[in-house]
Amino acid sequence: MPPLFSSPPALRRRRLLHAAAFALVLAAVALFLLLSPFDGSATPPPSSYGHRLPTLVDLTLVHGAREKGAVCLDGTPPAYHWLPGFGHGSDKWLLHLEGGSWCRNLTWCDHRKTTSLGSSSYMERAEFVGILSDDEFQNPDFYNWNKVKIRYCDGASFSGNVQDEHQYGASFFFRGQRIWEAVMSELLPKGLARAKQAFLTGCSAGGLSTYIHCDDFRALLPKDSIVKCLADGGFFLDVEDISGRRYMRSFYNDVAHLQDLRKRFPGCSSDMEPGQCFFPQEVAKGITTPMFILNPAYDVWQIEHVLSPDGSDPQSLWQNCRMDITKCNAKQLEILQGFRKSLLDAISEFKKKRDWGMFIDSCFIHCQSMKSLAWHSPSASRINNKTVAEAVGDWFFDRREVKEIDCEYPCNPTCYNVVLERPFDEE
């Protein structure tokens, strides 16, 4: 017996065609969403962008550090986080030096003593993301290496070594160099001394630390080990700010005087101010270990603190531009292009070094190796279709020469440009 409500053949065919067409539209939309790259104007995907959440790594206090005088600003022991490697990465090590600006006087240092940037009492577990991630999708070249995040609590990029304890109504310890040595002494017997490949990295003030300690790191490891360094967002410029002052040089002069840093840089010319010796352009001149310079041409932190610091803009004309590069007017963009040129001029001598690499994108961001979105994701900036992670990996493993210099803003549509909701102070 035929169905009670059978459709005519022509009507059935139309319904089947409509259903097939609808299915094709859904498939096309799904494919578009899967393949379309995110740009900086879109709402970014979650930090895991479809992969698992970051690994949390416990804090380890450095054993016997107090006895060596290797302590944070407040006298507490320094600390690090270690995520052991596995598989073919078990004999390879990646160390990352934490950033977080500097303290230029005792008032600033006293404030840091009540934070993780001056005391291990305030340090907690750390999320390992970006170059520290153990997710192969987020960190394809280094995911299974031993990875160590070294906490920053001395206020001068691991470079001070003042013997006496400062007493100004409270105690202050300026022992960054000793912290570096104590952490290395603890990691070497844990396997670092037998590393086949080793990579010292750092971002911001930790990027400056990487320039300072790159050759020291090389000297600790076997001669047949492959050892390289990467400084991310750490090439701070000695330039005039928008008011015509050299604010950053004055800032570094204060740090250098406070922590007696002149002796840390004996190769620095005697006719230079002590703060000048602290700039990466000077520190990097003596480095012999292969180094990778990772820097945005429009570094968010530097735009706010080097180019337009407090006091340089009494009418707050730069306030919107400092928070969002799309809000910069034509005159401000002209000044930003001049700032970019200063960076390119400063790194030009290092571009000539055959075994050095660089990735200078035209993005408004800071510390790209420590952001999963910026390091290697669908929304990561690209130069010549390579993410930062791919470019760094190509350089480290000698797959190709990497000296990538991006065109001027706003030329790169892949840039993930941050928009700040408040001033960018510290890491």
Which amino acids are annotated catalytic?
Answer: 204, 299, 366
CA distances to 109, 164, 250, 256 from 105, in Å: 6, 16, 12, 10
Closest Cα partner for 360 from 391, 326, 321, 322?
A: 391
Q: Which token pair is 174?
A: 């300026």
Find out whether 217 and 183 touch, Cβ atoms under 8 Å: no
**Percent composition of the chain: helix, strand, coil (DSSP 3-state, to 5):** 40, 15, 50
Residue 216, burial from CB neighbour count under 10 angstroms (0-12, 13-18, 19+)? middle
Where do we find the tokens 């698992």? 52
Reduced 3-state DSSP string for 250-280: HHHHHHHHHCCCHHHCCCCCCCCCHHHHHCH
Q: Which token pair is 109?
A: 């240092």
Find out whether 10 and 17 touch, Cβ atoms under 8 Å: no
Report d(CA 54, CA 132) in Å as an integer: 10
For residue 166, give the H/E element and its range. Answer: strand 166-167
Report d(CA 128, CA 256) in Å as an integer: 32
Find out whether 382 and 402 touch, Cβ atoms under 8 Å: no
The residues, any chain, with a CB within 8 Å of residue 100's CB and separated by 6 or more, are: 117, 152, 204, 205, 206, 426, 427
Find out whether 140 and 389 touch, Cβ atoms under 8 Å: yes
What one-character DSSP code corresponds to residue 386? B
Other C-beta atoms within 10 Å of 188: how many? 14
* Coil/strand/helix, residue 228: strand
CA distances to 264, 266, 271, 275 from 261, in Å: 5, 9, 15, 9
Find out whether 100 and 155 touch, Cβ atoms under 8 Å: no
Report d(CA 246, CA 102) in Å as an integer: 17
